[in-house]
Structure 1
Amino acid sequence: MSWISSLGTYLPPWGTAQRRTAGDDEDAVTMAVEAGCAARRGGGQIARVTLVTRDFPLLEGGSGAVLLAGLGLDPDIEVTERIGGAPAALDAIATARPRTLVIAVDLEPAGAAAAVIGETGLTVRPVARLARSLPVRTRDAGGATRDYGDPRLLRERGILRSVRTAWPGEVSAVAGVDHKTATALSSATAPQLPTTGASAAVFALARMAETGTEGVLLGVEQATVSGLGVDGGTASVVRNELQARPVPRLVRAPGLDIPISLAAYERAFDAKLRWQASRNPATGALDFPPRLSIDTEGRLVEPAELVELPRTGAVYTQVTVHVPVPGLPSPYSLVIVELDGVAVRALAKTTAAESGSVGIGDRGRMVLRRVAVRSGVPDYGYAFIPDTAQHTQKEIA
C-alpha cells in the first residue's frame, strides 16, 4: 500500500486540446521537470526519483543529472530510469517508498504527470498484474518502429482478453488506451486523458483525486495490464497545462550543426543548469554565472557561497533573430530577464510563445529547456516563459 501526497501534470502549448505536440525545445527530460516541479509544490522532501517513459533522449549517457538539476534536487539523489508505458507507471507508484517522486512522460501525444509518494494522502494498492505478449507495435534498439496493422487483434486478443483475465470486476478508469476503449471498459464515466502512454496512468490518478473517485484504475499496454486500487484519501493536484495553440512555423537552415565540446559542456554544466549565483565574500554581490574571485594580489579567494536564484522576473530588453543558423530553428526571440529580488539579469530564449510576442516589462518564469542537440548530445539551459502564455494552471486540494 502506498500514499500519494501530491500530483502534478504538464501539457505543452502546441497542438490541439485533444492532442498536444512537444515543442522544438522540449523532450522527455524537460517535460519531466515541468511535471515534477508541479507535483513538488504540494509535497515534502524528495529522496528518490523514478522516471518512466519510452522516450528517453539518451539510452546511454544518462539524463539523471539534468533531471535533478532541473528539479532543484541534490546530485546525490537516486534516479531510476524505467522503460515502459501505463502499467510500468502504476507499478512504479505501487512499489515506491515514501519520499519518492515518480514521473511519467510521453512524447506522442505529448504530456507528463508526476506523483509524490508520502506517508499520508491518497491511498493506493496493487490489485492486478498480468504480463502477456502481443507485440502489435514494436520499436527496436535502433529506434525503428513497426506496426502489425491489426487493430481488431489488438483489441480482442490483447486489451480485452488481458483486462478480463487480470480484473473481472468493475473498473473505475483505464489508462493506456484510446477514449472509446476506455469508456467501454469502465463502469463509470471514463476521464478524457491527453496521452495514451506512461503518463496516462498518472493523469488518470490526478483526475480520480480531483473528483474523489474510488475504485480500480487499470494501466494497459498492448496485452500487459497493471491495476491499482484507489481507496480514498486526498492529494493536492497542481496542473501546469497551457492553452493549446497551433504549432508555429519555423525555418531550419541547411548545413552542419554546431559541434559540441564535451570539455566545455562539463565545465559549464552546473553553472547552466543549477540556477545559482555565487556570492562574493568581500562585497556580498551576486555573480551570475557563478565564478571564482581573486584578490588584489592575484590569489584565489576562498570559494564563494552558492545562492539559489529566483525563477521569476520581468523582461528588461528583447530582440528577435531572423537569421537562420544551422541547428537552431528560426525565428527565435532572446530576452534579458531581470530576476525578482536580486540584482541579477539573465539572457535566455523565449519558449511557449511565438517569436516576437514578448515585450519589455512582460513577466514570466525561467524553465528548463533543450537548447540544441549537438553531436548527438542534448544541450540544456533555461528559457523564459511569459505569463501571457495563458496557463490553465490550477491547484486542487
Structure 2
Amino acid sequence: MPYIASIGTYLPCWGTSESRVPGDDEDAITLAVEAGRAALESGGSVEYVVLVSRDLPLTESSNAAVLLAGLGLDPELEVIERLGGAPATLDALGSARPRTLVIGVDIDAAGAAAALTAERGLQVRTAARVSRSLPVRTRNSSGDVHDYGDPRLLKKRGYLASLATAWVDSPVVVAGVGRKDAAPLAVGESVALPTTGASSSLFALAAMAEASTTGPLVGIEQASLSGITVADGSASVLRRERAPQPPPESGQLATGEIPISLAAYERAFEAKVRWEAGKFSDSDELDFPPRYRVDRDGTLKTDYTFVELPRTGTVYTEVTVHVPVPGLKTPYTLVIVALDDVSVRALVRVTGVEAGAVDIGDRGRLVLRRVAVRSGVPDYGYAFEPDAAGAAGAGTEDAA
C-alpha cells in the first residue's frame, strides 16, 4: 500500500489555459525531468523510476540515461519505461515500492507530473483495474495514426462500459478524458486537468492532495480503466506551471542538417547532461567543459573528478541570433551565464521567453532542454530560463 511523499507538476509556458504545447526545445524527456525535479524538491530518496508516456523520443534505444542524468540520480538506478496513458500511470503508482518516482508525460496537450512514494505520506491503494479492447485510436510502427472517429462509441462502449464493469464507487476525479466528459462521471465539483494522457492521473492526484480530498481516483483510456483510492495523509505539492503565452512566431529554418558524431556525443554526455565541471585534486579551479591539463613537467593529467554545477546564475552578456542555422529556428538568444558561487561562466541558449527578451543582470535557472535533433538523435543540454518568466504560477503547497 504505497504512500505518496511529494508530487511535482510541470506545464510548458506556450499555449493557452486549456491546452499547452511544448517549445521547440522540449520533448517528453525534458518535461519529465522538470516534473521529476519538482517532486524531488522535498528531499526524498529514489531507488526506482517509472516513466509512463505514449510520446517517448527513443523507442529503439532507452531514454533512461538522459532521464537519470537530468534528474541528478544515480545512473545505476532501475528505470522502467511504460507505453500507456492515464490507467498505466495509476497501475504503476498503485504497485510502486517505497522510494519510487513515477512520472507521467504527455505532448498533446503537453504536461508532466511526478509522484514520489515513501514509507509515510498520502496513502493510496489500488481500487479497480479493467482491461478491455476497443482500439478507437491506433498508431502503427511507422507512427501513422488512425482514428475511428466515433466519440459516441468510445463513450458508450468504452469508458462507460468499463466503469460499469469495475463496480468502483463513484469517482471523485476522473482522468484521461476532457473535462466535459469527465464532469458527469465524478461526484462533487469537476477538477480541470491540463492533460488527458499519462500525466493526467498525477495532475488529478495533486489536485486531491491540495484539497485534502479522499476517495476514488479513476484513470481511463479508450476501454481500459484503472482506479486507486486516495485515503488519509498528506503530500507536498510543487507546481511549475507558468502562465500561458502564445507560441513565438516560427522563424526561418536553414536547409540541410548538421550530422551528429556519436563518439563526441558519448564523450560529452556526463558533463553536458548532468551539468558538471571537472576538478583536479591539486586545484580549486573548475573546468567547464571538463578537460585534460598539461602539468608543468609536461605530463598529461587526466584524473579529474566531476563536480555538480549550480543551476542558478546571472546573465553576464547576451546576443540574439538572426542568421539561419541548420536544425534551429531563428531568431534565438544566447547568453553567457555567471553561475552562482563558482567561477564558471557557461554559454547557453535562452528558453521560455521570446528571442531578445533577456538583459544583462537577469537572474534565472538552468534547465534541461533538447538543444537539437541531429541524424535523428535528440541531443540534450542546458538552457537559461529567466526568473521573471518563471515566477507566475509557481510555488510549493503542502496538502493538509
Per-residue CA deviations over 1:91-111 (Å, capped at 9, x if unaligned) read: 000111111111000000000
Identity %: 59
Deviates more, 1:123-132 or 1:261-270: 261-270
Match of 2:176 in 1: 176
Match of 2:395 in 1: 394
Counterparts of 1:119-198 in structure 2, within 5 Å, are 119-198=119-198
Whether the 8 Å CA contact 1:43–1:116 is kept in 2: the answer is: no
The total of aligned residue pairs comes to 397
Q: Please give the alpha-carbon distance, in whole angstroms, between the structure 2 residues aligned to 1:34 and 1:353.
A: 17
SS in 1 for 2:293: coil
Match of 1:294 in 2: 294
Whether the 8 Å CA contact 1:280–1:287 is kept in 2: the answer is: no
Match of 1:238 in 2: 238
Match of 1:41 in 2: 41
The one-letter code sitting in structure 2 at the alignment partner of 1:278 is: G
Q: Please give the alpha-carbon distance, in whole angstroms, between the structure 2 residues aligned to 1:150 and 1:274.
A: 46
Per-residue CA deviations over 1:28-72 (Å, capped at 9, x if unaligned) read: 000000000000012411111110000000101211100011001
TM-score normalised to structure 2 length = 0.98
Q: Please give the alpha-carbon distance, in whole angstroms, between the structure 2 residues aligned to 1:71 and 1:195.
A: 22
Deviation at 1:292, TM superposition (A): 2.3
Deviation beyond 6 Å, 4+ runs, structure 1: none
Q: Please give the alpha-carbon distance, in whole angstroms, between the structure 1 residues aligned to 2:392 and 2:369.
A: 18
TM-score normalised to structure 1 length = 0.98
Q: Please give the alpha-carbon distance, in whole angstroms, between the structure 1 residues aligned to 2:392 and 2:79.
A: 29
Whether the 8 Å CA contact 1:279–1:307 is kept in 2: the answer is: yes
Match of 1:11 in 2: 11
Match of 1:88 in 2: 88
Whether the 8 Å CA contact 1:51–1:80 is kept in 2: the answer is: yes
Deviation at 1:302, TM superposition (A): 6.0
Deviation at 1:142, TM superposition (A): 1.0
Deviates more, 1:355-364 or 1:182-191: 182-191
Per-residue CA deviations over 1:111-144 (Å, capped at 9, x if unaligned) read: 0000001110000000100000111111111111
SS in 2 for 1:198: coil
Deviation at 1:298, TM superposition (A): 2.2
Match of 1:29 in 2: 29
Match of 1:356 in 2: 356
Deviation at 1:85, TM superposition (A): 0.2
Per-residue CA deviations over 1:3-45 (Å, capped at 9, x if unaligned) read: 0000000000000011000000000000000000000012411
Whether the 8 Å CA contact 1:319–1:333 is kept in 2: the answer is: yes
SS in 2 for 1:89: helix
Counterparts of 1:169-318 in structure 2, within 5 Å, are 169-301=169-301, 303-318=303-318
Deviation at 1:301, TM superposition (A): 3.0
Whether the 8 Å CA contact 2:66–2:273 is kept in 1: the answer is: yes
Per-residue CA deviations over 1:348-392 (Å, capped at 9, x if unaligned) read: 000001000000000000000000111100000000000011431
Deviates more, 1:355-364 or 1:267-276: 267-276
Q: Please give the alpha-carbon distance, in whole angstroms, between the structure 2 residues aligned to 1:292 and 1:391.
A: 42
The one-letter code sitting in structure 2 at the alignment partner of 1:311 is: R
SS in 1 for 2:319: strand
**Aligned-pair RMSD on alpha carbons?**
1.0
Per-residue CA deviations over 1:213-242 (Å, capped at 9, x if unaligned) read: 000000000000000000120000000011
| Residue 326 (structure 1) aligned with residue 326 (structure 2) | yes
Gaps of 5+ in 1: none
